[in-house]
Structure 1
């Protein structure tokens, strides 16, 4: 176990510079019919992208013939754009599984399930993801296997076990006490000192980001509502410790008071933000806090009502949140709060992440250009990968997708990606 954790941490350091399955000194030329280098810029006409060893070397107007020995990829009938980023996924999650599966599914099984889901997500055009919750070392093992080219999947930033209060969202509940004791992930903390220690433990395990449950959760058995869970002091300890270690902090937060407390603690992003009030949204704007609204999650839970997947307690919480879907995201955009693309993949079926684009437009009031920016340059900034992904430019990782038509005119085209490249590797 110790060796696995050390290896996971080393893998995180190596991830930024790795080139997945790219042959040494491989040159690829991509000829695009139309090209979106950055959603803030107009879509260009015929263009040529030169890629060497998994990185973009040049972007040239017009169709340029490939040099001798280079591989040619002809996308002259498609629009080429940056690979997409989902800032909130759970690759080892299974939306079809009732809560008791937590006492049945082993970490070995979950890692294999995650490998399957990683490929499905990649094929959907998402070349980078931020995994904000995975049991044990499953997320770290998955990240390492992808970085080393053993399996295909998106670039991953991994939080590992989210920090929780005892009995709160993210803690094990719903079983006999002795079963809860066996299954619990040693991710709970009480008091500022213990919470700071948990952050350091997650960093030691290889976490790229610290996730904590600032409020109750919709799908958890232990909490009866969505109110604030950690105290203000505990949240400050979590966030300040994460920042002192060079890590960002993300807060799962539904209730208004819990969101506001996390923002005052200096958190980098609010995940969900369901019941954020106008006053709290203004507080987020003042602090520069990002909202990741995860609208697809609400679609997922809506579809599973009455199917037996959720217990009556959970169904009550689902119905409560469905009354306000999109309200916080729309208010955040109007208030000038940064809104970044994130879906909570794993609460719904994997690979359907791009459905979030249409929801950001129809429910949150974004333009297609804003929604695409939220999943490229905006998400890259939140993840601290501004110079690595989110654009098609010299020096950036060769993460590309292609669609038929103009996604700025019809954002739902992104639900049908026809070509995917990650780190210079073409995904079949």
Structure 2
């Protein structure tokens, strides 16, 4: 049954978002959405035509179109303070979640930009990328390392208040690393390195615990560490463990005492294993995962966030003068291992959650990760779950986001087709609502 076109939502320009959108939100606190079909969560089948009621940013009802509640909402479409949105030819589903982004940066092999980019510019880049990411259907993101202090903490507040269009932001703020390791500044003269250092490097358990407390003081929602060497840092130090075991244990125990989880960038198998044994919640990348590393992850309940789009993105720059010779060599080494990362993880029984490392590749292309996950062996349904219910549980927000149910945040997207049959339809999102606010 196809509903009549009741209202066509007017697209708002980015420049007009600001105060006009806030004022509109104050006047209109109820929205009725006519959906062609609803997928309430990744375990459910499409419902058929339905009506979704949103009140003050929360879902307050989902009704079959032929129900009495739906008929009442259809006939009372002119109620003052109510907006009606017609998505009767779309599939409506929960907003997507990306557990690994870097909103304050865009792709670049020019490492010297760290010495030339002021924090104000990084803030503007973050706002731009927040909008792009939301329009791509990602209504919640976890940001795992910003370019400057307080950028993503400020963005978190601005998107929550509706001052900037964008997703819900969960941020680690600055990354904690060893001195001179991946995540620290390198590639410059000593004097320049000293000036650019983030202040979040540490040596020894006591100092590392202090950095965790400092990150908490500065407003981090979780802790991000670089547990091993990395691909894009300007040094050839290998990809195995950087922190000592006592340092990683101190980081995780201190974070736990503060109610914070730890995400660990980790490539090498022994670094993955050590981070998992220390109790980190997620392993980011996990390139060289093996049986011992997987057993440690399963014992600790640690998720793998594969970031396949990042590997695809950096491979595109090979041989084009984008990266320095040191970085090019590391990319070539990891590329072949990344191609079979998901099949290895599935064979080893490691749980997978959705994350892309957007910022290493262009923001807004996050949904390309779905096809790569399916190619690696996940079903369409499992891939969708990884970016909805599974990711929501990783964030500790499983009772707020990741599903369309009464009482949940109105984080809603709409697409043509059925993502449970072809998850790539999520690469072209037609409608996005975050916390009850329509993003353009």
TM-score calculated relative to the size of structure 1:
0.93
Aligned to 1:266: 279
Q: Deviations over 1:341-383 (max 9, x none)?
A: 0000000011000000000000x20001000000000000001
Write the mapping of 1:156-195 to structure 2, written as runs, cut at 5 A: 156-195=169-208
Task: List per-residue Cα deviations over 1:155-208 (Å, max 9, x = no partner).
Answer: 000101110001100000111111111100001000000000000000000000
The equivalences for 1:199-210 within 5 A come to 199-210=212-223
Structure 2 partner of 1:41: 44
2: distance between equivalents of 1:22 and 1:133? 31
In the alignment, structure 1 residue 31 sits paired with structure 2 residue 44: no
Name the TM-score, length of structure 2 as normaliser.
0.91
Unaligned runs of 5+ in 2: 1-21
Q: 1:97 to 1:219 in 2, by over 3 A?
A: closer
Counterpart in 2 of 1:254?
A: 267
**Equivalent residue for 2:362?**
349
Matched ranges for 1:115-264 at <5 A: 115-134=127-146, 135-264=148-277
| C-alpha spacing 1:21/1:265, structure 2 compared with 1 (3 Å) | farther
**Can you give the 5+ residue segments of structure 1 that lack an aligned partner in the other structure?**
1-18
Partner of 2:382: 370
Q: Give the aligned partner of residue 4 of structure 1.
A: none
Equivalent of residue 85 in structure 1, options 63, 72, 97: 97
Instruction: Name which one, 1 or 2, has greater alpha-carbon Rg.
Output: 2
Structure 2 Cα separation of the partners of residues 31 and 337 of structure 1: 39
Whole-Å Cα distance in 2 between the matches of residues 226 and 334 of structure 1?
23
CA deviation digits over 1:53-96, x for unaligned, max 9?
01000111225242333211111101000000000000011103
Q: Secondary structure at the match of 2:90?
A: strand
Match of 2:8 in 1: none
* Residue in structure 2 matched with residue 51 of structure 1 by the alignment: 54
Aligned residues, how many?
409
Q: Name the SS of the counterpart of 2:195 in structure 1.
A: helix
For the residue of structure 1 that corresponds to 2:170, the secondary structure is strand
How far apart are 1:20 and its partner, in Å? 11
Q: Does 1:401 align with 2:413?
A: yes
- Residues 85 and 128, structure 1, Cα contact 8 Å, conserved in 2: yes
Q: Is the 8 A contact 1:253 1:273 kept in 2?
A: yes
Is the 1:20–1:424 contact (alpha carbons within 8 Å) kept by the matching residues of 2?
A: no
Choose which of 340, 349, 361 in structure 2 pairs with 1:327.
Answer: 340
C-alpha distance in 1 between matches for 2:422 and 2:37: 15
Task: Please state how far the C-alpha of 1:304 moved relative to its aligned partner.
Answer: 1.1
